[in-house]
Each structure stands twice: as C-alpha cells, then as structure tokens.
C-alpha cells in the first residue's frame, strides 16, 4: 500500500477524533511530510499492520514517555489513580487500535481501505525506520507523531 494522500488525510483526521473521544485530548497536525532518519526515536511505539488485497503497510503511533503517560491518565480517569508503566503501554496500544479503526472507517469504499492487526507496543528504538511518511501532532497532552509505512 503506497502512502497515498488519501491515507495521510484519513490518519490526520482519525487521530484528533479518536483522542478527543477517548481521552478528551485536543490534538492538531503540526506538519506532515516524507519521513527521514532525523525523525528520531520513540519512547513508546504502538504499531498496527495494515493490509489491503494487494499490499501491506504499517501505522505507528510514536509517543514520548511524558505524552504517553498523560494520555493514559486521561483515558483511565476515574478508574485508577496509579497509572503504571504496564497501563501506559496497554493504553498506547488501545489508542493506536482506535485510531486505526477510525481511519479504516474513513476509507471504506476506497482502494486504501484496509484490514488491521492487533497492535504491538515496544519501548525505545527508532520511531519507525521504514516509515515513508510522518505526521507530527501537537496536543494538550504533549507532542507525538504518526508514521505510515508501505511494505513490498
């Protein structure tokens, strides 16, 4: 799946919607463009494999630790006062899952409509070394990025 304008637009819309609904987090796109090695590393990266009839790609939600912890606190408001590292990881995966689901719904009927996998979450390392496109966001929970990758 090529990183098409349609896919970028869907994730640019899905992220703010999902975060507002899940956590009351307001997010806006800061910038968007081809990914480079300067896009750095992520303290926490939640990745969802995207599959169409003809190809595969990935969506990775790349979060600094402070942003991930604040999002988890907001998602879990009223359920726990202790947001452990395990809960932060689980929450990052659930946020990625909801974002991917929202983007999938926005793409129904288009060639970019995809099936999605269960998210995998990892700590540290490159944000997504194979990302073809990055969308950087600012939010009231902190900055973060979305990386979109196409696989041959």
Query: What are the structural domain ranges in the chain?
Result: 5-151
Predicted pLDDT of residue 54: 86
Predicted pLDDT of residue 36: 82
CATH topology of domain 5-151: Chemotaxis protein chec (3.40.1550)
Gap between the Cα atoms of 71 and 91, Å rounded? 8
Predicted pLDDT of residue 10: 96
Q: Average pLDDT per run of 10 along the chain, which is 152 residues long?
A: 84 98 96 84 93 90 96 87 90 97 95 94 78 93 93 40
Q: In 3D, which of 146, 139, 142 has the Cα closest to residue 45?
A: 146
Predicted pLDDT of residue 108: 95
In contact, 144 and 28? CB cutoff 8 Å? no
Please report the DSSP string for 84-115 in residue order. Answer: -HHHHHHHHHHHHHHHHHHHHHHTTTSTT--E
**pTM greater than 0.75:** yes
């Amino acid at each position: 799946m090529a990183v098409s304008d349609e896919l970028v637009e869907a994730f640019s819309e899905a992220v703010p919607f999902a975060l507002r609904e899940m956590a009351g987090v307001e997010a806006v796109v800061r910038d968007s463009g081809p990914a480079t090695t300067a896009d750095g590393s992520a303290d926490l990266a939640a990745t969802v494999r995207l599959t169409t009839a003809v190809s595969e790609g990935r969506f990775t939600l790349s979060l600094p630790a402070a942003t991930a912890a604040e999002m988890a606190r907001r998602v879990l408001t009223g359920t726990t006062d202790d947001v452990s590292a395990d809960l932060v990881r689980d929450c990052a995966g659930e946020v990625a899952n909801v974002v991917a689901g929202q983007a999938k719904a926005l793409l129904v009927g288009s060639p970019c409509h995809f099936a999605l996998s269960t998210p995998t979450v990892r700590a540290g390392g490159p944000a997504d070394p194979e990302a073809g496109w990055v969308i950087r966001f600012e939010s009231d929970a902190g900055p973060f990025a979305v990386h979109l990758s196409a696989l041959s």
